[in-house]
Structure 1
Amino acid sequence: MLAIVDYKAGNLTSVERAVRHLGASCRITDDPGEVDRAERIIFPGVGAAAASMENLHRLGLDKALGRAVHQGKPVLGICVGCQIIFEHSEEGQTPCLGLIPGKVKRFDSSLLTKEQKPIKVPHMGWNQVTWRKSHPVFKGLQNQDQFYFVHSYYPVPQDPEHVLGTTEYGLTFASAVAKGSLAAVQFHAEKSGRAGLVILSNFLSWDGKEV
């Protein structure tokens, strides 16, 4: 079974539809026991880091996610699920799950686009990802592929080895990361058309190993 983690952060049915479109069975759940029994896990989400962490703690899903990663189960984080896997978020000065060393920072609205105009926060719309390293979840993707972003904060991994892909938006930020059996994307794979479905399809067959 594939578990889609429901920690009251939204964005669940679009992930479920994309997974079922690829022919896989899945279950949206807020039960840590079901997460423990799942073969692989998608950890999506939109919203604020503090509220997300509060719900994860309240439901016991924080520990279930930690157990899954420790056991080497394939886990895919999406959007907020790519942020709160780090140690700390500037959004509400929130301690997070600490599954990957690093922090999450807010975009500085004084940053400039390539056209030398102030960036808009949140970063919203289609943007490219430059792939820095090969990984089973991101195989078959090209640097010109576009992905759909909606976020005001971005991850800053402590170890550059954990950065798989980067995106330009006033600065270069990590938009795809991985460590062990955990991979995550800042963009919405489930809303990113063909390229997003490639990622989800790769994840559905991934054994949790980086090579």
Structure 2
Amino acid sequence: MGNIRSVAQAVMKVAPECTVVIAHTPEMIASADKVILPGQGAMPDCMTNLKESGLFEALLVAIKTKPLLGVCVGEQMLFTTSAEAHLPQKSTDCLNIFPGKVIKFDLEEKVQLDGSHFKVPHMGWNEVKQQRSHPMWEGIPDASRFYFVHSYYVVPDDEEYVFGTTHYGSEFTCAVARDNIFATQFHPEKSAQLGLCLYKNFTRWNP
């Protein structure tokens, strides 16, 4: 949902030798060498659209067998549950690839250095601290700035999955990885040259 075409255009720019398609059938996912799972909007809508699209089962297979990059809500979808839900539900079930949850920023009692209140959604450029080395960080200096637009963020059960953090009111996880999966809360396609570098790294990554 949301930013699929801008993601595709970014990958085409950094890897013109690759064939980039926006998958709309299970067969297209099954035949892909690598998969990017982007997303914007409300989690319940994203999960519903994924299931109604007919791509749900094919994506689960791809997650286990192919390099996969999750972006924004695409990162959040990889976790167990999200606090973003349509009432009367209290949470939304996600893909449960990473054990953990997705929660909303709670910044009402916090103020910034200039005395202003933190705003939700967190929107704009912010530094990303690399917690662990990874091939996806190649050519990207630690504390580089990336572009964020989100009200929710992931909380992994195990810190070994945390590969990047950002500070907004408090430190939160903004990049996770495990085996063939790498995912970010920030938008590489909106993050200028370093964002393009991350997409280029993905096209070359062979876990």
TM range (shorter): over 0.9
Deviations 1:91-148, CA, capped at 9 Å, x for gaps: 0010000111111000013152541532100000000000010111122222231100
Please tell me whether the aligned partners of residues 165 and 176 of structure 1 are also in contact (alpha carbons under 8 angstroms).
yes
Spell out the pairing of 1:5-154 with structure 2 (5 A cutoff).
9-22=1-14, 23=16, 24-71=18-65, 73-92=66-85, 93-115=91-113, 117-154=116-153
Instruction: Classify the secondary structure of the residue corresponding to 1:28.
Output: coil
Corresponding residue for residue 195 of structure 1: 194
Structure 2 counterpart of 1:183, which letter?
A: F
Please tell me whether the aligned partners of residues 111 and 171 of structure 1 are also in contact (alpha carbons under 8 angstroms).
no
The 1-side partners of 2:109 and 2:25 are apart by: 41
Please tell me whether the aligned partners of residues 32 and 59 of structure 1 are also in contact (alpha carbons under 8 angstroms).
no
The 2-side partners of 1:42 and 1:70 are apart by: 13
Please tell me whether the aligned partners of residues 129 and 146 of structure 1 are also in contact (alpha carbons under 8 angstroms).
yes
Corresponding residue for residue 204 of structure 1: 203
Instruction: Classify the secondary structure of the residue corresponding to 1:44.
Output: strand
The 2-side partners of 1:197 and 1:36 are apart by: 25
Q: State, as a whole percentage, how many aligned pairs show the same letter.
A: 45
Structure 2 counterpart of 1:187, which letter?
A: F
| Shift in CA distance, 57/110, structure 1 to aligned 2, threshold 3 Å | same
The alignment's TM-score, normalised by the length of structure 1, stands at 0.90
Corresponding residue for residue 88 of structure 2: none
**Structure 1, unaligned stretches of length 5 or more?**
1-8
The 2-side partners of 1:38 and 1:21 are apart by: 18
**Structure 2, unaligned stretches of length 5 or more?**
86-90
The 1-side partners of 2:129 and 2:109 are apart by: 20
The alignment's TM-score, normalised by the length of structure 2, stands at 0.92
How many residues are aligned here? 199
CA-atom RMSD in angstroms: 1.2
The 2-side partners of 1:18 and 1:57 are apart by: 26
The 1-side partners of 2:36 and 2:111 are apart by: 32
Deviations 1:156-195, CA, capped at 9 Å, x for gaps: 1111000000000011111010111111000001110111
How far 1:62 sits from its partner (Å)? 2.3
| Shift in CA distance, 111/135, structure 1 to aligned 2, threshold 3 Å | farther
